[in-house]
Amino acid sequence: MALAAAVADLIGSARAATAADVAGPRGLPPDDGVDLTSTHTAATQAIDGLRAAADALRADRSAASLAQLVGYGVPHAAPGEPDGLEGQVDAALAEADRRVTAADALTASDPVGALRAVFGESFLVVPPFMPPAGEFADGLAARAAAGDADPATLRGWLEDVAHVRPGAARLADVRLLATSPPPLQVAQLPADVPPWAALPAPDGAPPPGGTVSLLIAGDVPDRAGPVAALLVDDWVEVVPGTQQDTSVVMQLNAPTAVAPQSVLLAVAADPTRRWTTDSLERVVLETLALARERAVDADVPGAPPSGHLLPALLFARNTGGDPDGDTISTEFPRQT
């Protein structure tokens, strides 16, 4: 029962693979490569089988005929108590007739949909497809010839990946519960990329971009013919390079300290006395007070009186380096 539940979980979460899933980096095929010829035949046979089973049940209304519908996933088809057999037969016939009618309408245009109509919407149809010409077969042959993906290595890799990938975990569970699990093999595209991408390269270089590695559970009898497969899990692996150009940008605030914008030269009132801390403090405080007063406009109420400074005279003084002078300068002759 545990194995059956694990298989049902695996199939229910998988999807049918197409040619695009096994295409290498050289380009996708123009279409999905699916061949619906055999699927159409299977749909026709399934519809005929369900119709025949319903007709047999309609004829004898027996528990044995009712049980024939169990294989088609018809609800209430498993025979129960004899007292409820008639009700089960009526319900099963109604569902079987509905499925046959729906499947008949889809057979020609959508054989996959017709099979789902017969067996239920959760039924997974896996049509065969044709892999890209030669590429898939070459990828299988190259890995087999290289011998770097032996069964023990593949089992260990699958068990490791199962810790982080849900699809791989379901496959690992089925293989663990199975008595004789199918063999594992690898196809890598393009075929000329050594070694297997899951292994470290001898020179430390990562595999080329776009390399596709396929882990296949089971045999591939005809590598050049159609293939029917379930896609259990897929993901894109980012492989870090051995070298990478990088840079570091730092944003720092400008320093708050600035150079002094003025120098205060204090002259002692009494050159015979030494400077003291108190006298120097008084000079600094007085200078700060005078600086604040100088910044106040004379028209501002409460501004200090400036009448003793006005009127003032402005004299021009030549400070240029030209001996002939470059502007008018006022000369103050020394009085003797």
Q: What pLDDT digit, counting tens, does each position of 284-335 carry?
A: 898 888 887 766 666 666 655 666 565 566 666 666 666 665 666 667 676 6
185 close to 144: Cβ distance less than 8 angstroms: yes
Number of H helices, E strands in the chain: 9, 4
pLDDT of residue 317: 65
What residues are paired with 227 via a beta bridge? 129
Averaged pLDDT for residues 46-61: 94
Q: What is the pLDDT of residues 168-188, one digit of tens each?
A: 999 999 999 998 898 999 988
**Does 222 have pLDDT greater than 80?**
no
pTM: 0.62
Q: What is the dihedral of CA 323, 326, 328, 332, to 10 degrees?
A: -30
**Contacts of range 40-46, beta carbons closer than 8 Å, 24 or more positions apart:** 40/107, 40/111, 42/111, 42/115, 43/103, 43/106, 43/107, 43/111, 43/112, 43/114, 43/115, 43/118, 44/107, 46/72, 46/103, 46/114, 46/115, 46/118, 46/119
